[in-house]
Structure formats: C-alpha cells, structure tokens
C-alpha cells in the first residue's frame, strides 16, 4: 500500500504535551514516499514564487478547500523571499483576514505588517519584500468602474438607479466578474512584482472564467438593444422604429414586471450604454492576461472525491483555454509517521491488549469508550453513533452539563498533570496502548481513502505537478500559521524535505 506520509502537524499548531515540536519536514523522510507506477511530478513552489517572470498567481478550486488560506500563505512566503506582493482575497474567514490585518473592508490594498525581509532558510530574502493584502468588495468595485467611466451626471443616474443597486450587489456572477476586473486594475497599476488572486467561492470552480464572458455576450446581445431602444429614442420617434414584435415584447415585459421596473431597467441600460464597450474590452483584456506566460494557475483541492473531481475539470478547462497551469495544491492531507503499521495490524494488536485488559482491569472509569472498537473495524459498514447522537439522547446540540464542566476544568488544569491523571487512576497501559492503536487505525484508514482518491486524479492527469499541505488540527490565526503553511507548500512535494 502506498502511504504517502504527511508532516507532523503538532509542531506548529501547538506544542505536544512533552514540548517536543517535531520539525515539519522530519516525518516525511520516514515513510515510503512514492511508490506509484510513475511518480507524480513535484511542484516547486519556491521556484514559482521566485520567478521574476511570474506576475500573477491565481488560486482556484471548489469552495471550502482552502484557496484563500493558500493564497495568503503564498503571499507571505513570496514577500519574505523578497518580492513585492499583493494578495487579493475574496470572502476570507474573519480570523484569516485578521491575521493579515485586513479585517476592515475597504477594497484597497494595505501593507501587512510583520513581514520579515529575510528569513532563516529563505534564499532570496534581502529585506526588500513587501506584502499588501485586500479584500474584494464587489459593490465598491462596480461603483468605482461606473465613476471612472461615466461623467458625473451619468454616474449619479446609474448609482441611484434601483435596478443598478440590486445588480451591483449580486447578480449571478458579479463577484466573479468583479474579481477579474480588480485583477486587471491591480495589474495595470504595475506596482507589484506579483499578484496573488483568490477566486470566489463559486458554485463551480469555473464560474470566474465564464462570468466575464457571459456578461460580455449579454452586453452585446439583442435584448439589451431592444431594452435600450425606447429609452434612447424616446417618445414618438422611438415608437416609429418599434415593429410589432418589439412592442409586443416590451408590452409583455411591462405586464410581467410592472411599468416602473421596466422604465428603471431602460434608464439603467441607457445610462450604462457608454460604458458597455469598456466592460467588454476589459473583460477581454483580463482574459488575455490570464493566458499570458506571466500568469500561473494553482488548482487547490482537498483529497476528497468532489474537490478532486472539480480540480480535474479545472485542469481540463485550463488546457482548453490555453491558460498556464503550474500545479495542484493538495490541501489538508493526512499522513502518519507510523505508516508502516497498517490499520489491520493495529486493530489486531489492540484486540490482543483488550484480552489482557479484561483479565487485569479493575473497575472504575474506563479510559476507552467501548464503542471505539466498532467504529474503526474495517468491515463495519457504518460509524456507530457518537455520544450526542445516541438513540436516547435528546436531539439537541447542547452538550450536557457534565461535558461542559469537563471542558472548563480541563482548561484550568491543563498544566497540572497529576490532577488529570488522578481522575483516571485506572487507565491501564493496555487500555491506553489499545486506544493509541485504534486511533492509528482510524488515521490509516483516512490516509488510505485519501490515497485512493488521489490515485484516481493522478490516473487522469499524471502530468500535473503536485505539492501537499498536511492537515492542521486547527484554523490559521496569524502570520506564523501562514508561514507554516508556506513551508509545507514549499516542501510538500519533496519527500526529502527542503533542500
């Protein structure tokens, strides 16, 4: 079995109990890293970030896979390696935004403090690196375009139009369109060596490629012209040009939508008329920018079926659009430094210890929950109910009080081990070890499942370079966390660790 070992995750996300913080790359050398038929090419993240020819990195992938975090981590790393970087994030989680000091929404890049010019191990860092970050505000971006491209009076008419107000706040694809628009703007300013872009949490990873085109084709469409006709020509002069079909159409729409609505739309369309050419031109320009050699796409996915399926679509689509793919970031990968002990073997060993436990064990609070052995048995088709979902439990997410007290107590006694162990004097070493083995078996099953999923992707796209980021137990809250992810991005494709 191929068990690509991940990195030990406790070192960065919180010290282990005994204070040992394993080097993030240490673990990767212990496992059989690659014994695939043809090894997956490695993604050299640092080479990508250091390449002065690369001016735009687009992080794409389906929702919830960690695109924003990846974009932010790449930004920190690139800046600390000496580049002047701006990260355009979309909908960042609050704490992620806070970690970069951009939790106020203002649609303007701001310098992120705390970036180290020169890092231990960073080769290029010469103190000249800078990180700027911003959060996309799509309404603000839309307003800015209007303000920039229409004269004051027309701009006001547009901004006050109720139809525009709804449109700018959220027609399908606005966010995608505005993200690409913002990218174009940032690139045009030419103030940064490198722009790292996050993409919107679309229903499909491809929406941000399609939205600008859709908008473009809509703007070129007959329907817009039809809507514009009466408003543009106005009154009776207009009527003359309306043939019977058209008047039926506007009549129908008026009936459906109410006259005022249609008039709002017409005023809006007329007011926007002068801008349409601009929209289309810029959408085309941004599209070309994405095809340019200075752009690199990173597809982000978790080792799960849906995410990798989207990733595969994306890889195919990029090829079809002749857009340059740098590689796949496989996020939240599980590994084990004890991979040589298989799940089956671990479970068998745990059972051996159970047998001992039955003989030796005194009564008292058991260290293990007895349902444990069902839930990881490889032949068990289902996970057995968890405490909160036990048949007799009230259907309520409120944890029972004892559990809450536990939490509080444990927090207080975190550093006083005697107290904690006093409470479970009876946990025998057999129980404990059996528990560790079952935990390991569960981990190995996750590792195996993720590997199967990846193998399917690799079979489809063996040419795609991959780097992987081990699953962290918690969320990222600060620059240090982003650095840790950056380290993994850089070393995750290299089983021997960083050179």
Ligand X SMILES: Nc1ncnc2c1ncn2[C@@H]1O[C@H](COP(=O)(O)OP(=O)(O)OP(=O)(O)O)[C@@H](O)[C@H]1O
Where does this chain bind ligand X (CB under 6 A)? 63, 304-306
* Minimum CB–partner distance for residue 310 and ligand X (Å): 9
* Minimum CB–partner distance for residue 203 and ligand X (Å): 7
Residue 12 burial (CB count, 10 A)? 21
d(CA 232, CA 223) in angstroms, rounded, equals 14
User: Which part of the chain contacts other proteins (CB under 8 A), choosing from 79-87, 135-143, 232-240, 389-397?
Assistant: 389-397
Q: Which residues pair with 58 in a beta bridge?
A: 197, 297
Closer by beta carbon to ligand X, 63 or else 278: 63
Q: Which residue is nearest to ligand X (CB)?
A: 306
Task: Number of residues interacting with other proteins: please give it, by CB under 8 A.
Answer: 119
Helix axes 259-291, 152-160, angle to 10 degrees: 110
User: Which part of the chain contacts other proteins (CB under 8 A), choosing from 48-56, 257-265, 313-321, 478-486?
Assistant: 257-265
Cβ-Cβ contacts under 8 Å for 118 (sequence gap 6 or more): 80, 125, 126, 127
d(CA 313, CA 460) in angstroms, rounded, equals 10
Strand 466-470 with 84-89, pairing: unpaired
Closer by beta carbon to other proteins, 63 or else 278: 63
Exposure string of 263-300, with b = 16+ CB inside 10 Å and e = fewer, is ebbbbbbbbbbebbeebbebbeebbebbeeebbbbbbb
d(CA 244, CA 413) in angstroms, rounded, equals 83
User: Which part of the chain contacts other proteins (CB under 8 A), choosing from 72-80, 124-132, 228-236, 419-427?
Assistant: 419-427
Q: Is 221 a binder of other proteins (CB under 8 A)?
A: yes
E strands, 158-257, in order: 194-198
Strand 110-111 with 130-135, pairing: antiparallel
d(CA 438, CA 347) in angstroms, rounded, equals 6
Q: Is 215 a binder of other proteins (CB under 8 A)?
A: yes
Among 440, 454, 461, 483, binds other proteins (CB under 8 A): 440
Q: Is 151 a binder of other proteins (CB under 8 A)?
A: no
The one of other proteins, ligand X, none whose footprint includes residue 430, by CB under 5 to 8 A per kind, is: other proteins
d(CA 45, CA 465) in angstroms, rounded, equals 10
* Minimum CB–partner distance for residue 137 and ligand X (Å): 23
* Minimum CB–partner distance for residue 190 and other proteins (Å): 32
Given strand 56-60, what is the order of strands in its sheet?
A: 110-111, 130-135, 84-89, 194-198, 56-60, 295-301, 325-333, 466-470
* Minimum CB–partner distance for residue 384 and other proteins (Å): 7
CA torsion sign for 261, 267, 272, 273 is positive
* Minimum CB–partner distance for residue 70 and other proteins (Å): 15
Among 86, 97, 353, 479, binds other proteins (CB under 8 A): 353
Q: Is 474 a binder of other proteins (CB under 8 A)?
A: yes
* Minimum CB–partner distance for residue 187 and ligand X (Å): 30
Closer by beta carbon to other proteins, 108 or else 420: 420
Among 170, 277, 364, 462, binds other proteins (CB under 8 A): 170
Closer by beta carbon to other proteins, 463 or else 475: 475
Closer by beta carbon to ligand X, 255 or else 305: 305
Look at residue 210 and give its three-state secondary structure.
Answer: helix
The one of ligand X, other proteins, none whose footprint includes residue 398, by CB under 5 to 8 A per kind, is: other proteins
Site for other proteins in 290-309 (CB under 8 A): 305-307
Q: Yes or no: say if 65 and 202 are a contact pair by the CB < 8 Å rule.
A: no
Phi, psi of 401 (to 5 degrees): -60, -40
Residue 478 tokens read as 């600060």
d(CA 99, CA 481) in angstroms, rounded, equals 9
Residue 156 burial (CB count, 10 A)? 14
User: Which part of the chain contacts other proteins (CB under 8 A), choosing from 48-56, 189-197, 318-326, 395-403?
Assistant: 395-403
Q: Is 108 a binder of other proteins (CB under 8 A)?
A: no
* Minimum CB–partner distance for residue 386 and other proteins (Å): 5
Closer by beta carbon to other proteins, 101 or else 435: 435
The one of ligand X, other proteins, none whose footprint includes residue 52, by CB under 5 to 8 A per kind, is: none
Q: Is 364 a binder of other proteins (CB under 8 A)?
A: no
The one of ligand X, other proteins, none whose footprint includes residue 140, by CB under 5 to 8 A per kind, is: none
User: Which part of the chain contacts other proteins (CB under 8 A), choosing from 99-107, 163-171, 178-186, 460-468?
Assistant: 163-171
Helix axes 162-170, 174-189, angle to 10 degrees: 80
């Amino acid at each position: 079995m191929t068990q690509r070992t991940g990195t030990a995750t406790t070192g960065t996300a919180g010290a282990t109990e005994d204070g040992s913080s394993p080097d993030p790359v240490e673990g990767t050398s212990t496992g059989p890293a690659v014994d695939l038929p043809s090894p997956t090419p490695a993604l050299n993240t640092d080479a990508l970030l250091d390449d002065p020819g690369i001016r735009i990195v687009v992080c794409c992938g389906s929702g919830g896979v960690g695109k924003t975090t990846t974009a932010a981590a790449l930004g920190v790393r690139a800046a600390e390696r000496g580049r002047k970087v701006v990260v355009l994030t979309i909908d960042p989680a609050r704490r992620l935004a806070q970690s970069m000091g951009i939790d106020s929404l203002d649609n303007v890049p701001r310098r992120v403090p705390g970036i180290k010019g020169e890092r231990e191990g960073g080769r290029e860092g010469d103190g000249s690196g800078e990180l700027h970050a911003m959060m996309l505000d799509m309404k603000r971006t839309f307003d800015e375009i209007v303000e920039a491209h229409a004269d004051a009076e027309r701009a006001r008419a547009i901004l006050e139009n109720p139809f525009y107000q709804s449109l700018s706040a959220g027609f399908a694809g606005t966010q995608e369109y505005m993200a690409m628009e913002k990218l174009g703007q940032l690139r045009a300013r030419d103030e940064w060596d490198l722009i790292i872009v996050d993409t919107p949490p679309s229903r499909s990873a491809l929406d941000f490629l399609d939205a600008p085109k859709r908008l473009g084709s809509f703007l070129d469409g007959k329907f817009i012209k039809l809507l514009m006709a009466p408003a543009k020509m106005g009154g009776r002069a207009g009527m003359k040009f309306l043939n019977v079909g058209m008047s039926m159409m506007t009549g129908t729409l008026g009936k459906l939508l109410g006259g005022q609505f249609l008039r709002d739309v017409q005023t809006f369309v007329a007011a926007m008329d002068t801008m349409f050419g601009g929209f289309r031109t810029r959408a085309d320009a941004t599209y070309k920018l994405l095809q340019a050699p200075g752009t690199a796409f990173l597809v982000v996915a978790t080792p799960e079926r849906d995410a990798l399926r989207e990733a595969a679509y994306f890889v195919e689509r990029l090829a079809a659009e002749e857009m340059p793919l740098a590689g796949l970031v496989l996020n939240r990968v599980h590994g084990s430094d004890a991979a040589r002990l298989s799940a089956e073997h671990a479970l068998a060993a745990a059972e051996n210890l159970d047998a001992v436990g039955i003989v030796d064990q005194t009564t008292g609070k058991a260290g293990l929950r007895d349902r444990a052995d069902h839930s990881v048995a490889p032949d068990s088709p289902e996970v057995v109910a968890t405490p909160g979902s036990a048949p007799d439990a009230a259907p309520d997410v409120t944890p029972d009080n004892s559990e809450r007290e536990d939490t509080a107590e444990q927090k207080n006694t975190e550093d006083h081990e005697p107290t904690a162990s006093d409470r479970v004097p009876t946990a025998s070493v057999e129980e404990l070890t059996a528990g560790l083995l079952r935990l390991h078996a569960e981990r190995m099953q996750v590792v195996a499942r993720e590997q199967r999923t990846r193998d399917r992707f690799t079979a489809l796209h063996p040419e795609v370079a991959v780097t992987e980021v081990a699953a962290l137990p918690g969320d990222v809250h600060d620059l240090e966390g982003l650095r840790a992810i950056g380290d993994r991005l850089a070393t995750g494709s290299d089983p021997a660790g960083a050179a």
